[in-house]
Amino acid sequence: MPHLLKTIAKIGYHQLKNLNRFIQKQPVMPPSFNSATLDEDDVALAKLWLNQKGKWESTEELEQYHRMFATWNGSAHAYSFMGGRVALSAIIHAMKLGPGDEAILPGYTCVVVPNAFKFAGIKTVYSDIELDTYGLDAAQIEEKITPQTKVVLLHHLYGLVCRDYLEIIKIARKHNLYVIEDCAHSTGAEFNGRKVGNLGDAAFYSSEQSKVFNTIQGGVAVTNNPEIAQGLKSYYEQAPLPDNHKIENLLHNVMLNYYRFKHPQRWWRGDLALLLNGNKIIVSTTEEELNGRKPSYYGEKLPAPLAQIGLNQLKKIDAYNLRRRQTSLKWDAWCAANGYQKPHIVAGSTPIFLRYPVLVQPEKKKNIQWGVKDVGIEIGVWFVSHRHPAPGIIENCENSAIAVQQCINFPGLLDT
Ligand SMILES: *Cc1c(COP(=O)(O)O)cnc(C)c1O
């Protein structure tokens, strides 16, 4: 009952907001940052699998998914898990990293990234980013290296290929460090004709509901190194599946998200879905994880129904990424017209613009109402902190602090 009351209050709020926007001649359904690649065919698959409980432990779809992802990505090996964060934990396991080791990470990241290292007992050392592509600044890495340093994690944020990609790898090689690539925002982005994630020792991708492709929750780890592949396989083989209740909720979230965030009449279909199934909504990052604690269920692998949806998403990913690049031209023009700097595209790279990042004055990030009013879209605010979205400062990461205060994002996909 309290849940139903909360849902009704939420719906009332949505409809008042819709009415207000309608009266103000603002868009009632601005493009969503969530689940932008879910379509009717994904919903049909979710419905199909809800009626095939007996097949939920099937492994065939997983083998197919791993093969298809590896082939599409140009990687030798791929394994899927319940989150990019778990894929990262699998990589850490495969690299045999543990207590006493240190990892260098960007001071502008998602909290689940440092968590994966902490859960393995590894010390995290933060290094600042550059403000061209929000990647690690190669010039600041070497001073962070100690005899305990074993690995550098670089990331390609927002769908951009990071500016110092080659330089970071060169430094890591010189000091005999592993390189992990966080490609959670950049599935499909390319550098010199090759997908990102193939120049380091291992990489992970995310199919969480706000990312480039979507299985509600999910992630893939890849490597071209046979030894690391063996370690990924051993982590994968011991990983449990989510329980049936969770799988059922995940499948319901495919439908919920489609109706709430993507359906052409989502202004009311979303609320109907909430009313029917709002109690099944899944959050990606729990309070526990925000506080740096490991949830009891952490470490699961992807079940067959989600692998099947992942396969369907992969069939569409190139077309969606092409659309994201086309959308970026619109934001390029907006930047030119309004006196803002466009994102930096590294020579030889093909970005995919999960989100289009722009640095604005801090007031414009604090109060984002101008988005719907002036541009007809809701403004994204990734990231709102150094370890997004957990609060807290990281010292000596000045560019990261600027990005926290000033980086806003435009959606990569608009309604067609
Ligand atoms: C989302 C995200 C992750 C983690 O991916 P999940 O699939 O949510 O576990 C890692 N790094 C970055 C930069 C992200 O945005």
* Residue 416 clears pLDDT 80, i.e. is over it: no
Residue 391: partners with Cβ closer than 8 Å, 6 or more residues away: 385
The number of the ligand 1 atom at minimal distance from the alpha carbon of 207 is 7
85 Cα: distance to centroid of ligand 1 (angstroms): 6
184 lines ligand 1 (CB under 6 A): yes
Closest by CA position to 260, among listed 269, 247, 251: 269
Whether the pLDDT of residue 403 is over 90: the answer is: yes
Asked whether 183 lines ligand 1 (CB < 6 A), one says no
The region that residue 68 occupies, defined by phi over 0 for left and psi between -120 and 50 for alpha, beta otherwise, is alpha
Ligand 1: centre distance to CA 215 (Å): 13
- Ligand 1 binding pocket includes 284 (Cβ within 6 Å): yes
Ligand 1 in reach of 301 Cβ (< 6 A): no
Query: Is it the case that residue 1 has pLDDT exceeding 70?
Result: no
Tell whether ligand 1 has an atom less than 6 A from the beta carbon of residue 111. no
Contacts 24+ apart (CB under 8 A), 315-318: 316/37, 316/39, 316/213, 317/37, 317/72, 317/187, 317/188, 317/212, 317/213, 318/188
pLDDT grade, residue 2 (50/70/90)?
Answer: confident
Spatial separation of the C-alpha atoms in residues 253 and 292, rounded to whole Å: 26
CA distance 254 to 45: 9
- CA-nearest residue, atom 6 of ligand 1: 84
Confidence band, pLDDT 50/70/90 cuts, at residue 415 = confident
Of all protein residues, the one whose alpha carbon is nearest to atom 10 of ligand 1 is: 184
Q: Is 101 in the pocket of ligand 1 (CB under 6 A)?
A: no
276, amino acid identity = L
Whether 232 has a pLDDT exceeding 70, the answer reads: yes
Neighbour-count burial for 361-386, b at 16+ CB within 10 Å, e otherwise? eeebbeeeeebbeebebbbbbbbebb
Place of tokens 């719906």: 11
Q: What does the mean pLDDT of the chain come to?
A: 97
pLDDT digits (tens, 9 = 90+) for 237-251: 999 999 999 999 999
**Beta bridge mates, 390:** 387
Distance (Å) from CA 86 to ligand 1 centroid: 10
Q: Mean per-residue pLDDT for 306-333?
A: 98
Structure tokens at 200: 């380091």
Written as six digits, the tokens of 26 are 């603002």
d(CA 129, CA 204): 20
210 Cα nearest atom in ligand 1: 1
208 lines ligand 1 (CB under 6 A): yes
Q: How far is the CA of 21 from the centre of ligand 1 (A)?
A: 32
**Does residue 64 line the site of ligand 1, with CB under 6 A?**
no
**Rounded to an integer, what distance in angstroms lies between the CA atom of residue 187 and that of residue 336?**
27
Mean pLDDT of 324-329: 98
Model confidence over 256-265: pLDDT tens digits? Answer: 999 999 999 9
Which amino acid residue places its CA nearest to atom 2 of ligand 1?
184
- List the beta bridge partners of residue 211: none
Ligand 1 binding pocket includes 185 (Cβ within 6 Å): yes
Q: Residue 3's pLDDT is what? A: 82
At 114-134, the pLDDT tens digits run 999 999 999 999 999 999 999
Question: What element of type H or E holds 9?
Answer: helix 2-23
Regarding the beta carbon of 271 and ligand 1, being less than 6 Å apart is answered no
Query: Average pLDDT of 130-148?
Result: 98
The DSSP secondary-structure symbol of 86 reads H
> Bridge partners of 194?
191
In the prediction, which pLDDT does 271 show? 95
Cα of 248 to ligand 1 centre, how many Å? 23
The predicted pLDDT at position 144 comes to 98
Q: Does any ligand 1 atom lie closer than 6 A to the CB of residue 181?
A: no
pLDDT at 252: 98
**For the residues 356-364, what does the mean pLDDT come to?**
98
d(CA 115, CA 88): 10
pLDDT for 362 equals: 98
Residue 116: Cβ-neighbour burial (10 angstroms; 0-12, 13-18, 19+): buried
Q: Which atom of ligand 1 is nearest to the CA of 218?
A: 7
Q: Is the dihedral of CA 189, 192, 193, 199 positive or negative?
A: negative
**pLDDT number for residue 279:** 92
Mean pLDDT of 6-30: 91
Preceding omega of 69 cis (within 30 degrees of 0): no
Tell me the three state secondary structure of residue 407. Answer: strand
Question: What pTM, to 2 d.p., does this model score?
Answer: 0.97
Task: Name the residue at shortest CA distance from atom 1 of ligand 1.
Answer: 184
Pairing of strands 149-155, 102-106: parallel
Q: What stretches of 120-243 show up as alpha helix (H) in DSSP?
A: 165-174, 226-238
Tell whether ligand 1 has an atom less than 6 A from the beta carbon of residue 112.
yes
Position in ligand 1 atom list of the atom nearest CA 284: 8
Pocket residue to mutate for ligand 1, from 182, 297, 386, most atoms within 8 A of Cβ: 182
